[in-house]
Structure 1
Amino acid sequence: MVGSFLLRALSGSQGWTNYPAHAALEAMGCLAGIAIACFILILLRNLEIHRRYIWIAAGLTAMGTLDGVHALMEDGGSFVWTHSLANLFGGLLFAGVWLPARFAPPRRYAGWVVFSCFTLTGLVGVLTLHLGESLPPLLRGGVYTPIASLLNLTGGVGFIATAAYISLRSRSISPIERLVFSSHASLFGIASVMFEMAAPWDAAWWLWHGLRTAAYLVAFAYFIDLFQRQLRTLKTTEARLNHALDTIFETTQEGVLFVDHFGLVTSANPAACEMFGFGSEIPQGLSPARLLPNALSTASHLRPDTNLQAMRLDGSRFEVELSQTRLRAGGPFSSFITVRDITERKQAERQVLHLIEKLQSKTVALEQSNAELDTFAYVASHDLRAPLRTIQNAVHWLEEDLSPHFTEDTRDTMNIILRRTRRMEHLLEDLMLHSRIGRTEASKDVVVGTELVDNIRALAMRREGFGLTFDAGFDSIEVQKLPLLHVLLNLVDNAIKHNDAPTGTIALTAREGRDTIEFTVSDDGPGIAEKYQARIFEMFTTLHPRDEIEGSGMGLAIAKKYASVSGGTIEVFSQGRGCRFTVTWPKPKSLPQAMDKSA
């Protein structure tokens, strides 16, 4: 402003009318403004500045477009109109940065916003040029009219407001960018506000044109430098990436064959050279079809089936997986083929398939063996029980016919025979049951804990002086009824049968875990010595003579097998008198749908 006053004071009313110089300044401003708008769009796309700066890009485009039209004009009504409208549109659009962020167009539409401003202001400029002297005059007798002052003052206020926003509130750009943008907007604002202080073509008029153009060029020079620095950074990054790709290319275990535009292999990585036996140089005129017979549908295009055989230069073959990548036109290669040697994998797959076939054949044989075992167990049980019943019937007939002639020794002998035959019969039944565990489908009936308690009370052995107790843990559980009921009944019956006292109590508890339920069966009987605790789960094992306590010796073996095939466990603990069996049983959701038939 001081410069304007000084120039007007020194030069007076003298002016320098030079349309070519004026057109050159306006044209530089036009090109610089549109270029800066494009730079801002790039920064917006890269998320380096806030999307509010779309308004500045739009303002620069509008000003640049009208300045370009203004550069084509000579003195007249349209001459001042285009300059004033450039200031008005530019200032108003610049001031859009003060709007809330929700009013800023999305980044993906930034290009369309700028293009729309270019189109609309271009139409306004052409319309102004066409109307010419029919427009209201903005200059009378060398003095600007109120309309001209209003247009330029409004635009100037918008520019100054934008400079204030960038200086005080913008934190999305660097300090140097803040300085460039704020200075740029400030110069535009001052030039617009002081517009009416200069007469056309006088020294002050040329000064503000020069400063306005300088503002364009300074911002343009800054963005050129910025993009040169980014270009250098990109080149450095590209060099590093190329080095990394070269390292990968040289060290990868997969072969890579590069095919030129004539369909010939002209380059390969070390892995491919070793894979195909190239040595240090690739043979001249080598076609991919020579290395990949039956793999190409044309001279250099792979078939859909990419799991094929490749051929080395010595004629030997190996199994490979192939993939082809087409390259963009312009380079020395049309595509590259990636080759993976899968010979070892295929051999391993064949070995696995062979093992699976052997396992399937053994499974079939095992199923046949199980079926034969079932048949044998049934036949053996049936054939062995028939003579036992004959013996039992014979003893009963002898008692009926010769009872008056029996002595005491004879009666004892007859009783021993009956007990032994019944024991043998029970043993056969238990043996049959044991052989079928794990080869029959598991029961899917689920019961609540209280129903399980009722079943145990109803089915447990009766002995005077003995009672059962159940803790509150049974009230909140759900279990698969069988074979758990059989296991718990077996433990309860054992505790009652082997107790050497006239009275006793068997206590059962249930404790729910995450995936299992833990049951305990405790008694106050004679206990089990530590050296026998592992043996009691074996078949045909009893700790007392069978003539003292009747039993087959199969009960705990059956319980153990039930627990094992159901995914549970059973353990015993005893020190001195008393014994505690702990059964861990899966919850219904954790139980298998069927017991493992190969157990």
Structure 2
Amino acid sequence: MIKSNRIFTELLGYTEAEFKTMKFEEFSKVIEGPTANEIITQMSEGKIDKDIVIKRYYKKEGGCLIGKTSVSAVRDYKGNLKYVLAMVEDITREREAEERLNYEREKYASIIANMNLGLVEVDTEDIIQFVNQSFCLMSGFKEDELIGEKGSNVLRVQNKNVLDKENEKRAGGESDSYELEVFDKTGERKHWLISGAPRYDNNKTLIGSVGIHLDITKQKLLEFQKEQLVKELEQSNQGLQEYAHIVSHDLKSPLRSISALATWIQDDYKDVLDEAGQENLSLMQEKVASMDKLIHGILEYSTANNSALDNSKVDLNEVVESIKESIFIPEHVAVVVPETLPTILADRTKIHQLFQNILSNAVVHIEKEVGLVEVLFVENATHWQFSIKDNGVGIPKEYHKKNIRNFSIYRSK
């Protein structure tokens, strides 16, 4: 027969009279611990006087609760069992919270165990307490080879000074990211990016640190290769610049000689040469001067990325006329400027090089009987847009995006 107090009857919804006709098995089920019959048997035999059982109690109107049941034996003066007293504490909320926590722990434990980032937990002495599978793959060690070992020793950290500083930060409660250079089990050098944070127990006492590890060895190799490539390019550019200086000097020497000879001839034979001869010598001098400018342009172009822009007002009409006099233009080709070109603020040498490179390319690729090259421009709100138009063979359509001849010069405010 079961006797109950008012609180227990209100808890499950049964009356005291109903409980008197019921057995424990009818409204409860053991979750943890022995059954009611097992407890009574052991108490009757004098083996125990107290026990704790976790049971699920079913309410009359449906639903249930989880109760922590403290069972005590009540005996007579001879020590014989008179009855059993059970005190039920409702722990439904605690159990539900614990179950949710266990679920979350198992879920995240599964994620941590299988994520591509290496996870390591160490104590305050750097002794490894936990590693996930990804860290084992990164380091080359098995789990049982790492647990209980000092992390910095088994992984052979190269920049231990960095690790020591980071450990000091963990001891001070700081989180941080840093790089370590280590050797794995096979002796291969690895670079790891680590995000570390302190670990605390339930009493908020520091018990160690946790680190998330990302293998950046490939990225480091690419960075090194990039640095090497930059150095090689710098050396190559330096060599090209030196070569341009040498070539410019070597080319200017015979030009000076030609100019000097032409001047001597013009002076010594001015009474002998007719007007046409004098004019030809003058044209020779002009062509030598143009050639000298071209050589100077080569030198400037070789240092275009290093030299500062020498901006000044540049009349593009004069630039085009100068180019027409200095480059080879076939007899059947005409270079025309339909509209007067603007005067812009720019580096004269570089603008000259720009127009010369495009025009010299345009005039030599015209096979028609009458060739025409036009220098055009459109004035926009912020810039001038120039284009070189010719009636030559043109560029195949598939190369239009690569070899575009339109270019813009932005107006200086």
Using the size of structure 1 for normalisation, the TM-score is 0.36
The structure where strand makes up a greater share of residues is 2
The structure where helix makes up a greater share of residues is 1
Larger Cα-atom Rg: 1
> Which gives a bigger RCO, structure 1 or 2 (Cα 8 Å, sep 6+)?
1
